Structure 1
Amino acid sequence: MLDSETFHRRADVENFISLEVLNVILSLSDFGDAYLLPPHIVEKVFGGDSSYFNIVSCLFYIKDHNHYSTIKEKTLKILDAKLQNMSKILSNTEQACILLDSLTCPYIDRKRKIKYINRLCTALQIRKPNQQELSDFISSYGSEYWFINWKEVDLLNALERKELRQVY
């Protein structure tokens, strides 16, 4: 079903993907290697859209699995482009969210995170941190999360919250 274009895309809406499909795919990432989707399906689901939601969903799903290395490199290039010029980060919510979640993402290398921090300091015209400050920040900040909890999909808790929510 996931290989079908009509299953999760709508011709009348550009870059549309069903949230239900994404929820199923993201939950599969916690079931173990035996349940991972083939790379061509992952490319079909996450390729072609450079939105915040798509970038973080893709990174969350592919994690550090070697057979998704090509998809990960493409996604990281899109991320690099989105964080190339941060001169409007104080008014660009999508860019701010991408930066904050990228700095806590365990699937993005330390060198890349340092590059993003330095770009941010340049854009905001503030002093760049020294190596020790960068190291301390990345080490302590890496255990936190902003919008994406990179460590787990708490499906049971999410389902319980939906079940307990009252209908108005």
Structure 2
Amino acid sequence: MKIISALGKHRLKHEIDYDILRYVDDYIVFSHNNDNSELIADTISDILSTYNLNISDSKKIKYKRPFLTEKSKAIIGTKLLLDDLEKTLFTKTTHKGKRQLTPNDIYNPEKLCQSFINKVKSIIADNNKGYSEVSSYIISVLCTRALDVLSSYKPNTKQTPEEELTLREAILIIFRLVFFFYSVNPSVPSSNKIAKTLITTDQFIKTKKAHHLEFFRTEIMSHVNKLKFHRQKNDTRNGFISLERLNIILATSEFGSNYLLQPSIFSYLEKDEVNITYFDIVALTYYFKNYPIYSTAKDILIKIAIGRLNENFNLQQESEQAHIFLDLICCPYITADLRIELIKKYLASYEPDEVFTDDIVSAFATELLNNFWFVKWKNLDLIKLLERKELKPVY
């Protein structure tokens, strides 16, 4: 109000001669001419200074109609690059009103990928922006194109071996680019998109082109293994595997024992359990399954989970405890003895006047394997989980 009052003395009427919007610590001024804009900016600065607040002149940015920010320019330029890439990778046709993408033969895939990356670098450099401005957009478009390719496949049309290789290469080119732009700017939405596309593509190849499955999974794991899982100085979770990386890991969980990540990646579990969340516990338990290679890491993880349950055991008031408890008693990847121990703990706390024999408790433990609470341990549909946005750190 003080700003509006001060500007009124200069015969400037709010919402007629100018308008001011505020977004966090930024002020956005709209006016009819540059002189008024300068006056308004100076007035805002003067009023703020009375509260010991200052506006940095170096951060002032002027835009004129038509409004087009550097980010908008970067996105527009990137879209043109993606359109050109699509024309190079695919031949577009229409079948029954639906767009069909047929992969083209690419002579040098590595050169194509590097050329695209270099062109993106040039665009963001010209607009004084970083990868964060365009990476999520690129990943979203490329993942959509990958799914478009799969939906364009005609199951009743026999492909030659050469056509199958061309299809495989087109898909892998997309994933090479996707993983590059993800690696330079990881985010949860991007990881969800990648995970869903990975799972869908893997299922497609497994059912339609099974003889290419080993090559595809090996190629994907070469990219996953390059992601930075270890402690980083700027990691807000102090080096623990972040949510977006957990989503990527889970997307490869059905690849099988020949495509597992190195156990050393999970060495952080034994260093400090403070930042281990409920999601870490269930996600990694699902990923570890009963693979011997992860026995040490899983033992540490389950120990952390049990430790959480032993802290003032109260399932009625402690949400994290309730989630951990209910998921673990139905989990096929922990021992029957431990599940029985957890059930006895519950009965002692909430059914103290009832008598349950060991046989009855064992029967409970066996029956619970056929049920689930928050995590469907058997036949888990990861795509549905991703679509429902359940892969997020609630706790």
TM bucket by the smaller chain? 0.7 to 0.9
The question of 1:73 aligning with 2:299 is answered: yes
| CA contact 2:270–2:300 (8 Å) conserved in 1 | no
Match of 2:362 in 1: 135
Greater Cα offset, 10-19 or 95-104: 10-19
| CA contact 1:82–1:95 (8 Å) conserved in 2 | yes
Tell me how far 1:41 sits from its aligned partner.
1.4
Match of 2:38 in 1: none
User: SS at the partner of 2:276?
Assistant: coil
**How many angstroms apart in 1 are the aligned matches of 2:377 and 2:339?**
16
Letter of the structure 1 residue corresponding to residue 256 of structure 2: G
Q: Structure 1: where are the runs of 5+ without partners?
A: 163-168
Q: TM-score, normalization: structure 1?
A: 0.79
Residue identity (%): 34
| CA contact 1:27–1:153 (8 Å) conserved in 2 | no
Tell me how far 1:136 sits from its aligned partner.
2.0
**How many angstroms apart in 2 are the aligned matches of 1:128 and 1:84?**
22
Match of 1:151 in 2: 378
> Aligned ranges for residues 49-68 of structure 1 at < 5 Å?
49-68=275-294
**How many angstroms apart in 1 are the aligned matches of 2:358 and 2:235?**
49
- From the superposition, tell whether residues 10 and 129 of structure 1 become closer, same or farther in structure 2 (CA, over 3 Å): farther
Letter of the structure 2 residue corresponding to residue 2 of structure 1: L
- From the superposition, tell whether residues 46 and 3 of structure 1 become closer, same or farther in structure 2 (CA, over 3 Å): farther
**How many angstroms apart in 1 are the aligned matches of 2:348 and 2:384?**
41
Give a deviation string over 1:109-145, Cα, whole Å, max 9, x none: 1111111111122222523521222122112211111
Match of 1:20 in 2: 244
Match of 2:346 among 114, 120, 135: 120
Q: TM-score, normalization: structure 2?
A: 0.37
Greater Cα offset, 67-76 or 119-128: 119-128
Match of 2:48 in 1: none
**How many angstroms apart in 2 are the aligned matches of 1:159 and 1:84?**
31
Tell me how far 1:97 sits from its aligned partner.
0.6
**How many angstroms apart in 2 are the aligned matches of 1:80 and 1:130?**
23
**How many angstroms apart in 1 are the aligned matches of 2:338 and 2:231?**
36
Tell me how far 1:13 sits from its aligned partner.
4.7
**How many angstroms apart in 2 are the aligned matches of 1:77 and 1:160?**
31
Letter of the structure 1 residue corresponding to residue 247 of structure 2: N
Q: Structure 2: where are the runs of 5+ without partners?
A: 1-225, 390-395
User: SS at the partner of 2:295?
Assistant: helix
CA RMSD of aligned residues (A): 2.8
Match of 2:266 in 1: 42
Point out the structure with max Rg over C-alpha: 2
Tell me how far 1:87 sits from its aligned partner.
3.7
Higher RCO (Cα < 8 Å, 6 or more apart) = 1
Match of 2:227 in 1: 2
- From the superposition, tell whether residues 116 and 84 of structure 1 become closer, same or farther in structure 2 (CA, over 3 Å): same
Letter of the structure 2 residue corresponding to residue 139 of structure 1: T
| CA contact 2:269–2:301 (8 Å) conserved in 1 | no
**How many angstroms apart in 2 are the aligned matches of 1:46 and 1:24?**
22
